[in-house]
A and B are shown apart, each in its own frame.
Chain A
Amino acid sequence: MRDRTPLRLTRARPEPAFTVTFDGRGLDVLPGRTVAAALWAAGITSWRTTRHGGTARGVLCGIGVCFDCLVTVNGRPNQRACLVRAEPGDVITTQEGTGHDGAR
């Protein structure tokens, strides 16, 4: 028997994947997934470092309440990865600090 996966469990037939980049690296993304789901699917669990301790963060609440999963998408910082849907060609980058630090 093949490994169980969420896609197999729900007998999913996804539409064709598209490509985004995360910190310059190309990722295939199934349509409809949020940025967070796209990154999880690629085995990535953190995409932000905090502004004081510089520690890595990713998803905590998964429903837009905790703001821990903030990420920069197409140059716009502080997007909640768990809410924002990934779109073809998105440039997703690890967010450092306030996300505005390059804007000075």
Chain B
Amino acid sequence: MTAHGERPRLAVVGAGPAGLAAALAAARQGLTVTLVDAAPQAGGQFHRQPAEGLGARRARALHHRWSTWERLRDGLARHVAAGRITHLPDHHVWTVEREKDTDPDLDPDGTFVVHALRGPAQEEPATVRADGLVIATGGYETVLPFPGWTLPGVVTAGGAQAMLKGGLVLPGRTAVVAGTGPLLMPVAAGLAAAGARVAALVEAAGARDVARSAPALAAHPGKLAEGARYAAELLRHRVPVRSRHTVVAAHGTDRLDAVTVAALDPDGRVRTGTGHRVPCDTLAVGHGMLPHTDLAETLGCAVDGRRVRVDDEQRTDVPGVWAAGETTGIGGADLALAEGRIAGLSAAARLDSRTPDRSSWRSAAAARSRLRRFASAVDAVYRPPAHWTDQVTDDTVVCRCEEVPAADVRAAVGELGAGDLRTVKLLTRAGMGWCQGRMCGPAVAGLLGCELPVSRRPFARPLPLGVLAGATEDPTEDPQPVRPEEENA
């Protein structure tokens, strides 16, 4: 209990599997939880639901793990009704502030202030104060550039899926799904089930790569069965699967009308003479995922590689801040659930000045170890073609926001002596635009031949200067008072 006589307050940022699991676990243990999420409905990307006005009576046709979703959804509804969780949808968090030099036991205003934007144009400020914070902001898809990738009709694989799940809409009639990673199969299966003709699934990894990792993957029979199910669905929809292939170019004038698909040799080089054109109006392409680490980075949490560093309780190295799900490393929804649950239970104990009982999350911890091993095996298999930059012609746009072609990046490295991402950004503007380098970062790093460094983004999203100027006078949204009689509900 905090000195101000109320239950400790926990803010959870992100209502995907990790955030939901954390919020439910913490609320069950008696914390007052505010769940802050950008989407109109909880679920995150994995459990993204159709807009309510669409009246979908069988949304599960587009989903996997429906029973898991029902459990999360119903749990959230119960805790919200009981006043233990306040769910703030449509809240886009732009920063979290840590009020330093304040003792959480003495300061009734809490130690963290979550700053969000809401409203149709995201122009209205909102703040949430809390004693503890769980960062469960998920990840986003990487797409590496190739000639023609800025044409309308080229979308990320996850983007095509999000638009389908949320808006029940397809970008076109004939799709090619391409790139690498475990997301491609469900995306191709989903598009096909929803009525698109999927002309090809083009996967850079080959059967041999999978075989090489077979022992690691075989330790996860559930995951293999899932893969087999997708494969059967693809077969049923007559989707041709081209492994060890890649899309080398997209064609069209004002929108996509075809792609060129070519075979890869074992070294990850395009085999000359193997390119063939596949007519399509949609290309759903992805090359893996990256965690959102902005909030953690701004709070000063250690970030290893691209993942927020956490201990076995999912604590970051900043007191009072936990992280769970993709933000601690890409690993999928099941891993996110396990991590979220552990984070919620740890937070419930730690914010109440207790040492958590680790046995309360024994099964989640076991799942976490197993799924992290699986994730690294998957990561080893699904890699973009080693020589993908060979296909990036000088006139290929690398930074979509600032329209910076590969030639400029190469000139910055050659003629102007740049050797790192920041210098290339300053010299070419690649990464200075609206997305702040989220999309082009991996591409520029690839062209430079260096690792993608951690980016400092003090504003996790753009915000009106008027909001920033008046940020101290925001109306504070305090969670609803808890009704004590429902303590054990």
Interface set of A (CB-CB < 8 Å, partner B): 3-15, 30-34, 36-38, 40-41, 45-46, 50-53, 55-68, 70, 73, 76, 78-79, 82-85, 87
Report chain A residues within 8 Å CB of B166.
34, 37
Query: Shortest CB–CB separation between residue A4 and chain B, in angstroms?
Result: 4
In the assembled complex, 28 residue pairs joining A and B whose CB atoms fall closer than 8 Å, in A order, are: A4-B194, A6-B62, A9-B61, A9-B195, A10-B54, A10-B62, A12-B50, A12-B55, A31-B54, A33-B51, A33-B54, A34-B51, A34-B167, A37-B51, A37-B168, A52-B402, A53-B403, A56-B254, A60-B155, A60-B439, A61-B141, A61-B158, A62-B160, A63-B45, A67-B435, A70-B434, A82-B159, A82-B162
Out of A4, A70, A79, A82, which one reaches B163, CB within 8 Å? A82
Inter-chain contact A50/B159, CB cutoff 8 Å: no
Instruction: Confirm or deny: B150 has a beta carbon within 8 angstroms of a beta carbon on chain A.
Output: yes
**Residues of chain A lying within 8 A (CB to CB) of residue B156:** 60-62, 66
Task: Give min CB distance, B302 to chain A, whole Å.
Answer: 23
User: Is A6 in contact with B195, judged by CB distance below 8 angstroms?
Assistant: yes
**Interface membership of B483, Cβ < 8 A:** no
Interface of A is mostly: loop
Q: Considering only CB atoms, which chain A residue lies closest to B401 in the complex?
A: A67
A84 engages B120 (CB within 8 Å)? yes
| CB within 8 Å for A62 and B169 given contacts A4-B193, A4-B194, A85-B40 | no
Contact A31 to B158, CB < 8 A, known contacts A11-B56, A45-B153, A57-B150: no
Contact B439 A65 (CB under 8 A): yes
**Given A40-B169, A82-B163: A30 in contact with B53 (beta carbons within 8 A):** yes
Interface of chain B: mostly helix, strand, loop or mixed: loop
A65–B255 Cα distance when bound, in Å, is 21
Contacts of B195 in A (CB 8 A): 3-6, 8-9
Contact check, B400 vs A68: say whether CB atoms are below 8 A apart: yes
B152 touches A5 (CB 8 A): no
- Chain B residues lying within 8 Å of A40, measured Cβ to Cβ, are 163, 167, 169-171
Residues of chain B within 8 A of A76, CB atoms compared:
121
The answer to whether B168 and A7 have CB atoms under 8 Å apart is yes
How far does the Cβ of B11 sit from chain A's closest Cβ, in whole Å? 20
Asked whether B254 lies within 8 Å of A66 as measured between CB atoms, the reply is no
A3 to B196, CA, bound (A): 10
Among A32, A62, A78, contact of B53 (Cβ-Cβ < 8 Å) = A32
Q: Mark B166-184, 1 if CB is under 8 A from A, else 0.
A: 1111111000000000000
Given contacts A45-B172, A60-B154, A61-B156, contact A37 B56 (CB under 8 A): no
Task: Please give me the residue from chain B that is nearest to A15 by CB atom.
Answer: B53
Per-residue A-contact encoding for B44-61, CB less than 8 Å = 1, 0 else = 010000111111111101
From A41, A70, A84, B169 is in contact (CB under 8 Å) with A41
Establish whether residues A36 and B435, one from each chain, have CB atoms under 8 Å apart when the complex forms. Answer: no
Residue among A32, A33, A82, A85 making CB contact with B120, cutoff 8 Å? A85
Provide the bound-state CA to CA distance between A8 and B140, in Å: 29
- Using known A-B contacts A12-B55, A67-B434, determine if residue A45 contacts B167 with beta carbons closer than 8 Å: no
Residues on B close to A: CB < 8 A? Answer: 38, 40, 45, 50-59, 61-62, 92, 120-122, 140-141, 143, 150-156, 158-164, 166-172, 193-195, 254-255, 400-403, 433-435, 438-439
Interface centre among B167, B171, B402, B438 (most CB of A within 10 A): B167
| CB pair A64 B56 closer than 8 Å | no
B150, A55: Cβ atoms under 8 Å? yes
Q: Given known contacts A32-B52, A60-B156, is B120 in contact with A66 (CB within 8 Å)?
A: no
Residues of B near A84 (CB, < 8 A) are 120-121
| Chain A positions within 8 Å of B403 at CB level | 50-53, 55
CB-based contact B167/A67 at 8 Å: no
Report the separation of the CA atoms of residues A50 and B401 in the bound assembly, to the nearest whole angstrom. 8
Q: How far is the CA of A64 from the CA of B156 in the complex (A)?
A: 12
Chain B min CB distance to A85 (Å): 7
Q: Known contacts A40-B169, A62-B162; decide if A13 and B194 are in contact (CB<8 Å).
A: no
- Cα separation A56 to B439 with both chains bound (whole Å): 18
Residues of A within 8 A of B402 (CB): 52
Residue of A nearest to B167 (CB): A37
User: Would you call B38 and A64 a contact (CB within 8 A)?
Assistant: yes
Asked whether, in the complex, the Cβ of B50 is within 8 Å of the Cβ of A10, the reply is yes
Min CB–CB distance A44 → chain B (angstroms): 9
Q: How far is the CA of A65 from the CA of B433 in the complex (A)?
A: 12
Q: Are B159 and A60 in contact (CB under 8 A)?
A: yes
Assembled-state Cα–Cα distance A15/B438 (Å): 37
Give chain A nearest CB distance to B486 CB in angstroms. Answer: 32
Q: How far is the CA of A37 from the CA of B170 in the complex (A)?
A: 8
Q: Which residues of A contact B62 (CB under 8 A)?
A: 6, 9-10
